[in-house]
Every structure is written in C-alpha cells, then in structure tokens.
Homo-oligomer: A and B are copies of this chain.
Amino acid sequence: MTTLDLDNQTCATSLKLLGDFWTLRIVDALSTGTMRYCELQRRVDNLNPVTFTDRLKKLEDAGLVQRMEKSKTGVSYCLSNRGQKILPVLEAINTFSREAHTT
C-alpha cells in the first residue's frame, strides 16, 4: 500500500492542489493572518499576477481561502478553518528540510 490514499478522490484532488510551489507559498504567507491583496502578492516574491490570481482563485474555490471585501480597506484574504488544516503539511515540509539535511 502506498502512503497516499489516491483511490479516494478527495485525496487525489488535495494532492493536485497542494502539489504546487506557489499554492504552498500563498498558504504560508496567509498563515500569519489576514492580508490585503497587494501585501499577499508582495510576500510571495511578487509572483506574476496571472499565476497569483489563478492559485488564489483555486484556493478560494476549494473553500480554503476566504476573500473579504470592505469598502474602506479593499480586498483582503485569510485562511478559512479548512484552509488552516493545510498548515501541518507546511510543518511537515519544514521538519523534512531540517531532518534531511542533518542526517
């Protein structure tokens, strides 16, 4: 048996979504809290607007990122409760990067 349960459609969908460098960078940036569009884009190394919007839209469509529009501050984004559940994946990558380079 493999580690991933790819026979399960939700797992295959999750892998497709999370197996992407920029998506993980956006989630990581949002792990610090709510952020305005421009600030978020700046945090992910000024990723080109097309890719940035595409990845953000995919996260929004999957219910992992919430878009909030306020008249005063403009558009902001944050991780939804479900989106917060991606953070252990980032932590696992962090742990891997530490462990894999010390052994």
Footprint of B on A, CB under 8 Å?
1-6, 8, 10-11, 13-16, 18-25, 28-29, 31-32, 64, 81-82, 85-101, 103
Contacts and interface: CB of A to CB of B under 8 A. Distances in A.
Nearest to A23: B19
Given A6-B28, A29-B2, A14 B96 contact: yes
B82 A88 contact: no
Given A16-B21, A19-B24, A21-B15, A4 B96 contact: no
B94 A4 contact: yes
A84 to B, nearest CB: 10
Contacts of A96: 14, 18, 85-86, 88-89
A15 B1 CA distance: 25
